[in-house]
Amino acid sequence: MGLTIIGEETAAPTPAAPTPAASPTPAAPTPAAAATPAAATPAAATPADPAKCTTCKDEEKKKKKTWAEEHEKEMKASLAEQKKMLEAKKADLLRNDDATKANLQKFYGSSSEETRQTTLARVDKELALNNEMSKNPSAYFQDAAEGTKPGTYAYVYPNDSTHQIYLGDAFKTAPLTGEDSQAGTLAHEMSHFSDIGGTKDNIYGATGALGLAKTDPTAALNNADSFEYYVEGVR
Ligand SMILES: [Zn+2]
């Protein structure tokens, strides 16, 4: 899946590297920027004609509705699918049998107890956040900033304690579940939050992620796409 420096993905037709267009934007989201989500601040437009004021504001409000707000049902469905994925992984991790180990080995290049515990903790934290988000999705999802590269799934500010997820065009057309799905993207993005997984985008795409498991297990465990594909259970 997609691409960017911190927490941003773009649709990547080729597995390992995202398309050139998807190449990371220079400015990595800074923690400070996360404190005040841009979209949360209504444009301070002062209507020229006071008579039109009420109408203007209503119109403005309408326009300001985010995609997630307009698609609340879909967002709830995405979250429900993500929850299903996470619960399946949790059950697998708790079983701790040969299949569990083989799966960890495949995506992280290690089936050590430490790898299992790290993954389990991340799954548990995502389940807790998923639960919060499911109560009121529109409080957590915003449209990606204007100028965001086409093909972007989503991005986050890792230190954002309010856990906002910014949705790009690729997310909005992605399938609900399966590989590079909305549900998997949520798992990917949530894993970036420093209080959940603090993952990085070391490499994008399923092929790249599976390769990383073989060459650098530590980087794989810390890679958001590796977690996404692990959760999606693809390939
Ligand atoms: Zn990412």
96-129 residue pLDDT tens: 999 999 999 999 999 999 999 999 999 999 999 9
Instruction: Say what the pLDDT of residue 76 is.
Output: 96
Packing angle of the helix pair 72-95, 224-232 (nearest 10 deg): 90
Give residue 234's pLDDT band: very low, low, confident or very high (50, 70, 90): confident
Contacts of 205 (CB under 8 A, 6+ apart): 1, 12, 14, 15, 16, 17, 18, 225
The residue among 116 and 35 whose pLDDT is bigger is 116
Average pLDDT, the chain: 82
Q: Which has the minimum average pLDDT: 2-6, 142-146, 166-170?
A: 2-6
Q: How confident is the model at residue 60 (pLDDT cuts 50, 70, 90)?
A: low
Q: By three-state DSSP, how is residue 217 classified?
A: helix
Percent of the chain topping pLDDT 90? 69
Asked if residues 216 and 223 have their Cβ atoms less than 8 Å apart, the reply is no
Mean pLDDT of 68-87: 95
Residue 165 has pLDDT above 90, yes or no: yes
Q: How far is the CA of 191 from the centre of ligand 1 (A)?
A: 8
Q: Residue 158 Cα, ligand 1 centroid: separation in angstroms?
A: 10
Q: What is the pLDDT of residue 22?
A: 37
Residue 162, token pair as written in the block: 């309010």
Q: How far apart are CA 83 and CA 142, in angstroms?
A: 20
Mean pLDDT of 160-165: 97
Assess whether pLDDT exceeds 60 at residue 184: yes
Q: How far is the CA of 11 from the centre of ligand 1 (A)?
A: 11
- pLDDT score, position 41: 35
Q: Is 183 within 8 Å of 176 (Cβ atoms)? A: yes
Q: Is residue 79 predicted with pLDDT exceeding 60?
A: yes
Confidence of residue 8 (pLDDT cuts 50, 70, 90): low
Is the pLDDT confidence value at 38 over 80?
no
Alpha-carbon dihedral angle through residues 121, 139, 88, 188, given to the nearest 10 degrees? -70
pLDDT at 42: 38
pLDDT of residue 66: 86
- Residue 8 CA to ligand 1 centre (angstroms): 5
Q: Which of 108, 114, 102 lies closest to 203 in space, CA to CA? A: 108
**Ligand 1 midpoint to CA 72 (Å):** 23
pLDDT at 65 (0 to 100): 86
pLDDT at 206 over 90: yes
Instruction: Return the higher-pLDDT residue of 31 and 52.
Output: 52
Q: Residue 170 has what pLDDT?
A: 97
Active-site positions read 189
Q: How far is CA 23 from CA 12, 56, 164, 199, in A?
A: 10, 39, 22, 19
Amino acid at 198: G
What pLDDT was estimated at residue 130?
98
Residue 23 DSSP label: P
Listed residues: CB within 5 A of ion ligand 1: 7, 9, 201, 224
